[in-house]
Amino acid sequence: MENKGNVIILDHPLIQHKISLLRDSNTGTNEFRKLIEEIAMLMGYEALRDLPLKEVEIETPIEKCMTPMIAGKKLAIVPILRAGLGMVGGILNLVPTAKVGHIGLYRDHETHEPHEYYCKLPEPIDQRTIVVLDPMLATGGSGAEAVDFIKQHGGKNIKFMCIIAAPEGLKRLSESHPDIQIYVGHLDRCLNKDAYICPGLGDAGDRIFGTK
Ligand code: PRP
Ligand code: URA
């Protein structure tokens, strides 16, 4: 695990291996979906290591004891539509009681700027740990705007999780929101002229949902 300011690169061998399989253009929709979910779960295991705990009383077959459980208002997971949806199941495997919000954004194909079309967040959002999910952080426009919306709605404790990031997007997101933690599976080389990540994995939404 590599830590630079508010950016944490999750370089675990299992995550790296599964990202390599994701990149392969021969990986079909079914396999791609499974890999996205598995990677989200492995990343979530690290990203949620600071969830607050409280001591509760439990009776074992032997005796009563005080033992730690996750405290307070539970987690909110917020996928950025569409591709972030693919990561939701992986986090729900870890915390099945988490609430799920949605932010709908799409990138304009000409300007590459994000446009919002949907936002619904679980209340009280200001008391929850919020994990924003999007497999791709390219220019960083969608990620930065999603975090802006969540803050406008009162969100405070925000983590952003992406599977592949470009240096440009990581810089934009970490500079515009220095108060959030950004978890990255792999930092790629650059963006191409169409603002796709190189080497990347292509269009994540299309590969998850089988569209073109
Ligand atoms: C993709 C991806 C991110 C965004 C990243 O979504 O899932 O949300 O692009 O690019 P950015 O960092 O330059 O903003 P897209 O806009 O293609 O929408 P989709 O998920 O509905 O396909
Ligand atoms: N969105 C994607 O799905 N892939 C990229 O490489 C860039 C943005």
Report the number of secondary-structure helices (H) and strands (E) in the chain.
6, 14
Under the banding of pLDDT at 50, 70 and 90, the label for residue 140 is very high
* Beta carbon of 197 within 6 Å of any ligand 2 atom: yes
Nearest CA, atom 3, ligand 1? 136
Residues 6+ apart with CB under 8 A from 161: 40, 43, 44, 47, 87, 131, 132, 133, 134, 182, 183
Q: Say which ligand is closest to the CA of 114.
A: 1
- List pLDDT tens digits, range 190-207: 999 999 999 999 999 999
Domains in the chain: how many in total?
A: 1
Distances (CA, A) of 130 to 17, 32, 146, 155, 167: 27, 25, 12, 7, 23
Instruction: Provide mean pLDDT across the span 150-168.
Output: 97
Under 8 Å between Cβ of 74 and 92: no
Q: Which residue has the higher pLDDT, 206 or 110?
A: 206
Closest CA to 183 of 158, 155, 152, 149: 158
Nearest CA, atom 6, ligand 1? 106
197 Cα nearest atom in ligand 2: 6
**Amino acid (1-letter code) at residue 180:** I
Under the banding of pLDDT at 50, 70 and 90, the label for residue 113 is confident
- Distance (Å) from CA 125 to ligand 1 centroid: 24
Closest CA to 43 of 87, 1, 10, 92: 10
The residue to which tokens 């990149």 are assigned: 23
SS3 state at 3: strand
Q: What is the pTM of this model?
A: 0.95
CATH number of the domain that 100 lies in?
3.40.50.2020
Instruction: Provide mean pLDDT across the span 12-17.
Output: 98
Instruction: Provide mean pLDDT across the span 166-181.
Output: 98
- Distance (Å) from CA 181 to ligand 2 centroid: 21
User: Is 93 exposed, middle or buried (CB count within 10 Å of its CB: 0-12, 13-18, 19+)?
Assistant: middle
* Beta carbon of 203 within 6 Å of any ligand 2 atom: yes
Paired strand residues for 7: 4, 182
* Beta carbon of 36 within 6 Å of any ligand 2 atom: no
Under the banding of pLDDT at 50, 70 and 90, the label for residue 173 is very high
Q: At residue 19, does pLDDT exceed 70?
A: yes
Please give the pLDDT value at position 192: 98
SS3 state at 25: coil
Under 8 Å between Cβ of 157 and 125: no
- Distance (Å) from CA 201 to ligand 1 centroid: 12
**Distance between CA 212 and CA 205 in Å, rounded?**
9
Paired strand residues for 56: 67
**What is the DSSP pairing of strand 157-165 with strand 129-133?**
parallel
Average pLDDT, the chain: 95
Q: 66 is in which domain, residue-wise?
A: 2-209
Residues 6+ apart with CB under 8 A from 59: 65
Under the banding of pLDDT at 50, 70 and 90, the label for residue 212 is confident
Please give the pLDDT value at position 190: 98
Q: At residue 72, does pLDDT exceed 70?
A: no
Q: At residue 101, does pLDDT exceed 90?
A: yes
